[in-house]
Structure 1
Amino acid sequence: MIIDAHQHFWRIDRGDYSWMDDSVAPIRRDILPADLSPLAEACGVSRTVLVQAAPTCEETLFMLSLADETPLIGAVIGWLDLTGDVEGQLARLAHPKLRGIRPMLQDIAETEWILRPEVLAGLRKVAAAGLRLDALALPRHLDALARLAEEIPELPIVIDHCAKPDFDGAEPDADWRAGMAVLAAHPQVCCKLSGLANEAGPGWTAETLRPVFEHVLAAFGPDRLMWGSDWPVLELAGDYRGWLEAAQELTASLGRADRDAIFGGTAARFYALDEGETEEARA
């Protein structure tokens, strides 16, 4: 069982993907479940976690509608305005497959925005609703996220794309390494092995990514590390099978149980995917 813990779908004419400029022209097209299904089937991926790509509740509703008709989608990570009427938005977005929310921190200039009192109040409501936080973070956010983990320990957090470390040297930046280690000290924080091909850029190999992988593996352990494709953004730097095989190469020395955790078990537990299937069966 392989679970892809991080992928996207979009339909361009919905009109809220403001980041889709010429720099991402190769993926600036409608990308929907029919595009991913053959890739997932060929790679043995049984379920995915569909993650928001626009900062609107409307996009979240669009993703939830896809989840209604697409068994491959095991969970949806949406968006809501954490400074607004969080309870009202949660009521609007209520759905068996909604498992968390993701503010687009990398696009917010204020590094400590996540620690604003009104945002913390919103996140407490998110946690009370049984949801999780996907952190689309950069290295500059690591300290603030560690403080968030201390402030709201009941909120499960996963760091997307290993917080996008800088690949301009042979070893990842010392500040990134220290920041990830501090975050990993909080047991409710997990990390996604995703997005690294795009951060490394053209010509990347598994060995290019190994220093980052080894650090997050040592910090979080396999039970808090989950593989994700970041497809179709991945297409800007690689392909679905190529990234999966690179991740499998990176984990080749691990035991079966550890590999099973990284490629499925951690995501299933963190996002309560089996619980969702049980709820659907009862419906």
Structure 2
Amino acid sequence: MLPFRNLEEVAASLGRPLTPAETLWFRYSATMPDFQIYTHSFFLLLCLFSLGPLPLVLMEAMGVSVLCRFKIQPNVRVPFSSVVQCYRDVVAVLLLVVAPLQLTSYPLLKWSGIRTGLPLPSLWETGAQLVVYFLVEDYGNYWIHRWMHYWPWAYDKIHRVHHEFTAPLGFSASYAHWAEVLVLGLPTIAGPVIVPCHVLTLCAWIALRQMEAIETHSGYDFPGSPTKLIPFYGGAEYHDYHHFVGKSQSNFASVFTYCDYIYGTDKGYRYQKASLAKLRPLNSSVYKAVHSY
């Protein structure tokens, strides 16, 4: 809740006129309690998870042929009933585990300095904070994920649930044991605690991280994806390999590839890529030879 009665008081406090975005934020949040503003992050997460994977899932269910050449595992089709069950299971975890976690973390975030008032952060500040959050989350996620694969008990009792989909789809991005969801939530929230931000930046962080997870689990590799311009970005093909080989010791990173490269946990993936690259010219030559007669 903002400690101002009108826009004039805000402008006098800031010593400048409000930007259009700040005016809009004041009109929306001026009388809203901080805790209620913070709950927006969960509803944003739920909406993105429900709507983000939907276009590809529906087009695949309808058999849209143009998608086939972009599908990473083209011979695998997840039954639509399994897709629906996956969505139900994830929503249950979101409501019963993630929502309470986000709501109970409010005092911690408030104590760390998450703010809801004015002025709004600049684009430069927001961008710099988001980069920090991605790096912190990616590094923490790498080691937790790797530990879950190296410790047989953790894999068999917890992480194995996420690997039930050897050909992942968007809805399976958050399909995991409730304990894994809790543990992997720690590096997600660590960034904003270390580097406090505005609640709008927090919502942007949650939205971007969820969108990234949906893309890397989509099962499709689109050449024109703008994420391919991001340095060291893994993407769908990179993470799909991790699911394809099952209980693997490769490609643990959630977003970027540098941890796997530095710690040598991408050797299997790079070997496969190199082997496939050698086979392509051979297959092309065979095709031309066969069709020359």
Normalising by the residue count of structure 1, what TM-score does the alignment of the two structures yield? 0.26
In terms of Rg, which structure is larger?
2
Which structure is higher in strand share?
Answer: 1
Which protein, 1 or 2, shows the higher relative CO under an 8 Å CA cutoff with sep ≥ 6? 2
